[in-house]
Copies of this chain bind each other. A is one copy, B any other.
Amino acid sequence: MVSKNTIKRITSLGQKKYRQRERIFVAEGIKVINELLLSDLELVELYAEDVSAFAKALPNNNLAVVAQVNAVALKKITFLKTAQKAVATFKMPKTAHIDRYGLTLVLDDVRDPGNLGTIIRLCDWFGIKQLVCSIGTVDCYNPKVVQATMGSLTRVDVIYANLEEYLKNDTRKVFGTFMDGTNIYGTSLPTEGIIIMGNEANGISQEIETLVSDRLAIPRFGEVQATESLNVATATAICLSEFKRG
């Protein structure tokens, strides 16, 4: 059983304003929840069809609510189309301090939760510790983003900031990809720097573009008349691969 109050409270966490007020977010699915349990994050509550699926990862000494519930109850508190076998809530970690060294990825208004989740997963894979997002970027604690990160969220600092201020206060080179940029495959790329990826429909905004020091391009090998561009997550994959491959 999940009480009406619990359903109301968890459902409200689908909205950013309630997440920010409570400093709590929702995670779903055995795999994702297990990854979060193994991190430093503090569990608040866990509802699962089979609590034993979390036996290895559940903290011993914890004030969290842990309850075995049926699929009907879970369906009332899920945010995902495909029903998951578990729903949990965790306390948000403290906002990380901004580091100004190494490689940092910056997102200028990425709106799609799946894209942000995939990009956080890429940062984890490529050892990018900090991801700085414009205020207009989708919230990283949106349940769909949490799902798409597959647990990587605990290993990457996601920081929301005014990008103009952030970029103006940094001395590293600022890279962005544009149609008219220099071929990324023929460019010597540094181990320190800021890489900016833009909005799905509009790319990097004009205000931010003026702060880019190095314009790069991912060359297209297919038919040139085609108008279509790369998806922002796959473009990010290619950029990070180029910076890290050495």
Contact = CB atoms under 8 A, between A and B. Distances in A.
A155 interface: yes
Contacts of A150: 228
A40 interface: no
A228 B156 CA distance: 13
A138 to B, nearest CB: 14
A53 B118 CA distance: 33
A124 interface: yes
Give the copy number. Answer: 2
Interface in A115-152: 118, 121-128, 150-152
Contacts of A236: 234
A79 to B, nearest CB: 13
Contact of A121 (B123, B126, B230): B230
Interface residues of A, number: 37
A223 B35 CA distance: 14
A226 interface: yes
A83 interface: no
Contacts of A228: 35, 121, 124-125, 150-152
Interface stretch (A10-18, A55-63, A208-216, A238-246): A238-246
B185 A226 contact: no
A246 B242 CA distance: 13
A114 interface: yes
24 contacts: A35-B227, A114-B114, A118-B231, A118-B233, A118-B234, A121-B228, A121-B230, A124-B223, A125-B222, A126-B222, A127-B220, A127-B223, A151-B227, A152-B226, A230-B237, A231-B233, A234-B234, A234-B236, A235-B237, A237-B241, A238-B238, A238-B241, A241-B241, A241-B242
